[in-house]
Structures are given as C-alpha cells and as structure tokens.
C-alpha cells in the first residue's frame, strides 16, 4: 500500500466503537439500592452540602474506613516530630507575615 493510499484509508470516517462500548458499560453499572428510612436519614445528615449525592457520601464513608498508607503514616510521624521541635508557625503568625 502506498503512502497516499494509507492516508486516504485513514481519512475515512471511523465509527468511535470504544466510546459506545464505554457508554454502554456506564449505563449498565448504574443501579438502585434499597435502604431503610433511618439509613437514608443518617446518610442525608452526613452530606456536606444538600446537593451532594448519596454515592459521594457512601464513598467518603468507605474511604474513612481504609487503613492509612505507610507513606501517610510516615508523613504524620514527621509532622508530629516537627511540631515537638517547634518547627511550625501558627495561623496568627502566618497572617501577620502576610499582612492579613
């Protein structure tokens, strides 16, 4: 096949098959779950904003239950060490430095 033929073949409109496949899976993944009124109220109380979805609330709850990574644990230990050594600034100090 010559380069000219390759260019012509490439220039033909292509049906975006991958897009349709992804969209189909996205639709299939959506579902409805049944929860008691009590649980719905508890989830509603955990919303940060009224428009926040219940899915977002549930993801936040799942994330809260996860174990901290080793990297996060090391960073927290380092932060505690710096605080003990006095290597920090208070909010008031930062505001003063910035003239706020």
- Only one residue has tokens 């994330």, namely 63
- The residue-averaged pLDDT of 5-21 equals 54
Residue 19 has pLDDT above 80, yes or no: no
Q: How far apart are CA 16 and CA 21, in angstroms?
A: 9
Q: What is the pTM of this model?
A: 0.40
pLDDT of residue 94: 92
**Six-digit token pair at 76?**
């927290």
Q: pLDDT tens across 36-94, in order?
A: 888 889 989 999 888 888 888 888 888 877 787 888 899 999 999 999 999 988 899 99
**Six-digit token pair at 80?**
């505690």
Q: How far is CA 34 from the centre of its chain?
A: 25
Helix ranges (DSSP H) in 1-100: 3-11, 17-29, 37-45, 54-64, 70-84, 91-98
Q: Domains of the chain: which residue ranges?
A: 68-100
Residue 9 has pLDDT above 70, yes or no: no
pLDDT of residue 60: 86
**Six-digit token pair at 16?**
């975006």
- Positive or negative CA dihedral for 16, 22, 25, 30? negative
Residue 97 has pLDDT above 80, yes or no: yes
**22 burial class (0-12, 13-18, 19+ CB within 10 angstroms)?**
exposed
């Amino acid at each position: 096949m010559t380069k000219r033929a390759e260019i012509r073949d490439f220039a033909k409109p292509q049906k975006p098959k991958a897009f349709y496949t992804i969209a189909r899976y996205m639709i299939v993944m959506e579902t409805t779950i049944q929860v008691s009124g009590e649980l719905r109220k508890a989830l509603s109380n955990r919303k940060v904003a009224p428009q926040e979805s219940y899915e977002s609330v549930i993801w936040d709850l799942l994330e809260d239950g996860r174990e901290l990574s080793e990297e996060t644990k090391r960073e927290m230990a380092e932060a505690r060490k710096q605080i003990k050594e006095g290597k920090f600034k208070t909010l008031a100090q930062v505001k003063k430095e910035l003239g706020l």
